[in-house]
Amino acid sequence: MDPDHLSDALHERFDAKTAAREKALPAARRSIRAAANAIRAVHRAELVTARSLIADSRAALDDGTDGVTAHPDVRFAGYLLDAEKEYAEANLTYALVSGEDLPAPDVLGVGDAPYLNGMAETIGEGRRHILDLLRIGDVEKAERILATLEDMYGLLVTMDYPDAITMNLRRSTDVARSLIEKTRGDLSIAFVQRDLHDALERHARLVEGDQS
C-alpha cells in the first residue's frame, strides 16, 4: 500500500462527496421553501401561483438530487427526503383543495416514506381548509374534504412498519388521527348550528305568514 496514493484517492472521493453535499443541501432548502409557499398560496386560493411554486420546488429537488446519485449516503442523509416530503405535501394539499385526484408517489417522483409523511401532514392542511370553509358556511364542501381526510388516514394506519423504514410515520399518523377527531367535532357543531339556523328561519316565515 502506497500511503501517498491512498491519501490522494481518499481526498478525491471525500472532495467529491463534500461537493455533492454542498450542492444538495441548499437545493433541498429551496425546494422546501417553495413547497411551503405553495401551500400558503393554496389556502389563499391562488392556485396558479401555487402551481408555479410547486414547479419551483420540483426543479430545486431535481437539482439537489442529480448531484448525489453517486453518493447514496448523501442522497438519503435526510434533508433531500424532507424536501420530498414537503413537495409531496404541497401537491397533495393542492389536489385536496382543488378537488383533483390525489397523485400517487410514482407520479410525483418521490419515495414512499416521504410521500406518506407528506400525506400525514396534508391532513393538518386539510383541517385548516375545512375551518376556512366553515367560516363561510360551506358545510357540504367541508364534509367532502373531511371524507377525503378520513380515507387518507385509513391508508396511513395500515402502514405498520418499523419507524426506520417509514421515517417515523407512526407518530405523524397519531397526530393526524387527533386532527381528524377535532375536525369531525367542529363539523358536527357546524351541522347543528346550520340546522338550528334553518329551523329558526322556518319558524320566522311561519310567524310572518300567520300575521299576514
Mean pLDDT of 116-135: 95
C-alpha cell at 1: 500500500
For 102-125, write each residue's pLDDT tens digit. Answer: 999 999 999 999 999 999 999 999
Rounded to two decimals, the pTM is 0.85
pLDDT of 203 reads 43
- Angstrom distance (rounded) from CA 70 to CA 134: 50
Correct CATH for 111-212 of 1.20.58.2140, 3.40.47.10, 1.10.287.130, 2.60.34.10: 1.20.58.2140
| pLDDT classification of 64: cutoffs 50, 70, 90 | confident
Residue type, 37: N
Residue type, 160: D
**Distances 148 to 61, 122, 144, 152 between C-alpha atoms, Å:** 28, 11, 7, 6
**Residue 179 clears pLDDT 90, i.e. is over it:** yes
pLDDT of 1 reads 64
- Angstrom distance (rounded) from CA 14 to CA 160: 37
